[in-house]
Amino acid sequence: MPWGRRAWARGRVLAGCAVLTAGLLAFPGAVPGSPGRLGSLLDTFLPWLGLVIVLLTGLALLRRSAVALLALLLPTAVWTHLFAGLLLPGTASGPHGLVVVQHNVSDENTDPAGTAGSLAAAGPDLIALQELVPPALPVYVRTLAEDYPYHAVRGTVGLWSKHPLTGARPLDIRPRDVTEPWSRGLRAVVHTPYGEVSAYVAHLPSIRFGASGLASSRRDESAGLLGSALAAERLDRVILLGDLNGTVDDRGLAPLTSRTDGARRGFAFSYPAGLPLVRIDQVMARSARVDHIRALPATGSDHLPVAARVTLL
Q: Smallest Cα–Cα separation from 129: which of 154, 151, 158?
A: 158
pLDDT tens for residues 178-195? Answer: 988 899 999 999 999 999
**Inter-residue contact 171 to 187 (CB < 8 Å):** yes
Task: Give the amino acid at 216.
Answer: S
pLDDT tens for residues 278-294? Answer: 999 999 999 999 999 99
**Inter-residue contact 19 to 76 (CB < 8 Å):** no
pLDDT at 92 over 70: no
Least confident of 5-14, 21-30, 83-92, 159-168: 5-14
- The neighbouring-strand residues paired with 103 are 129
What's the rounded mean pLDDT across residues 4-26?
Answer: 85
Task: Band the pLDDT of 40: cuts 50, 70, 90.
Answer: confident
**pTM as predicted:** 0.92
pLDDT at 82 over 90: yes
How many Cα neighbours within 13 Å face the side chain of 263?
Answer: 30
User: What pLDDT sits at residue 1?
Assistant: 44
**Inter-residue contact 15 to 68 (CB < 8 Å):** yes
Task: Give the amino acid at 296.
Answer: L
User: What pLDDT sits at residue 227?
Assistant: 98
**Inter-residue contact 132 to 151 (CB < 8 Å):** no
User: What pLDDT sits at residue 208?
Assistant: 78
What's the rounded mean pLDDT across residues 226-235?
Answer: 97
Q: What is the DSSP string of the chain?
A: ----GGGGTS-HHHHHHHHHHHHHHH-GGGS-STTTTHHHHHHHTGGGHHHHHHHHHHHHHHHT-HHHHHHHHHHHHHHHHHHGGGGSPPPPP-SSEEEEEEEE--TT-S-HHHHHHHHHTT--SEEEEE---TTTHHHHHHHHTTT--EEEEETTEEEEESS-EEEEEE-----TT--S----EEEEEEEETTEEEEEEEEEPPP-EEETTEEE-HHHHHHHHHHHHHHHH--SS-EEEEEE-SS-TT-GGGHHHHTTSB--SS-----BSTTS--B--EEEEEESEEEEEEEEPPP-SSSS--EEEEEEE-
Task: Band the pLDDT of 211: cuts 50, 70, 90.
Answer: low
User: What pLDDT sits at residue 135?
Assistant: 96
User: Residue 287: exposed, middle, or buried by beta-carbon count in 10 A (0-12, 13-18, 19+)?
Assistant: middle
User: What pLDDT sits at residue 50?
Assistant: 95
| Contacting residues for 1 by C-beta, under 8 A, at least 6 apart | none
**Inter-residue contact 177 to 147 (CB < 8 Å):** no
Strand pairing report for 126-130 and 150-154 = unpaired
Polymer length in residues for the chain: 313
pLDDT at 162 over 50: yes
User: What pLDDT sits at residue 5?
Assistant: 63
pLDDT at 37 over 80: no
